[in-house]
Amino acid sequence: MMPWNDRAGNFSPFKAAVLVGILLPAFYLSWGLLDGSLVSNAPVSPLGARPITELIHRTGDWAIRFLIISLCVSPLRRIAQWPKLINVRRMLGLAAFSYALAHFVLYAIDQKFRIGFIVSEIALRFYLTIGFIALLGLSALAATSTDGMIKRLGGNWNRLHMIVYPIAILGVLHFFIQSKIDVYQATLLAGFLLALFSYRFAHKRGFALTSPLVLIVIAVLAGLGTAAIEFAWYALATNVPPMRVLTANLHFSYTIRPAWWVFAAGIAVAALAFIRSLTKSTAPARNRASRATVARGTPG
């Protein structure tokens, strides 16, 4: 089945749009590489003086982004009451694996495929160790993502695919360690992952994810948790005064800190749930009015 078709084999504009969105970063990065590093007499590459190194970083960034986006599908499907959203989850998960694999292959290219050296680096450098473990986990999920494997594994399939959450944690931690001082993007992704865990916890505890109030509480807690994660990183892993980073959340003249973006995204989700509840409540009224009109009959 083509990735842009639905399960009935018909063309799906939504799936096609998601596929284009998945491929756009790859096309952009490929263009950046060809524009300056592989074409003779070309200007400096948009990827900088070391395009392969930049490609390694950016493919890794997109891998964790698509992984977290794939994890957003299930809660957003419940909140938006949009069942067909589940049809793109597999595509997004495979995109995360593909970018992660490209991330590793580009690293191997940068090391000139010195297998012994690569193995020793993975064994000795903690951030490479957890990154490689995350890649192995994504490989297992990708290999078992087909309909045939789902049927073959049965109930074990769900248990296996629950490792996506530890994989996401390892991926974000890998991002933090690799980023060192500038952990803005890593903190942002960690905040979104924290929000996703909060949605999952609330759902397991029986809270309705269609309730705007529940979602507002999650947005507040996720925003505060994001600020705490950023504070803890700077306190434990750097020499940057963590209180200066924490108080930067109260100033907007220079930049908006990740905690506010996570909070804003959570409020947007709560607003979506509120709008969805309004449309759902007005639908029965419209149906009753329509039935009443039919019962009275229309003038001939």
Nearest alpha carbon to residue 71 among 52, 51, 86: 86
Give the pLDDT of residue 233.
Answer: 95
Give the pLDDT of residue 35.
Answer: 65
**Size (the chain), residues:** 300
pTM of the model: 0.87
Give the pLDDT of residue 95.
Answer: 97
Q: What residues pair up with 11 in beta bridges, in sequence order?
A: 5
Helices (runs of H) and strands (runs of E) counted in the chain: 12, 0
Residues 6+ apart with CB under 8 A from 246: 227, 230, 231
Does residue 101 come out as left (phi exceeding 0), alpha (psi in the -120 to 50 range) or beta?
alpha
- Compute the distance between CA of residue 88 and CA of residue 77 in angstroms, rounded to an integer: 11
Q: What residues pair up with 206 in beta bridges, in sequence order?
A: none
Pair of tokens at residue 107:
């690293």
Give the pLDDT of residue 300.
Answer: 37
Q: Give the count of beta carbons closer than 10 Å to the beta carbon of residue 175.
A: 24
Q: Using DSSP, state whether 297 is helix, strand or coil.
A: coil
pLDDT along the chain (300 residues), means of 10: 79 92 92 59 57 90 96 93 90 96 95 95 96 97 92 89 95 93 94 96 91 96 97 92 90 89 97 88 54 48
Q: What are phi and psi of 5, to 5 degrees?
A: -100, 150
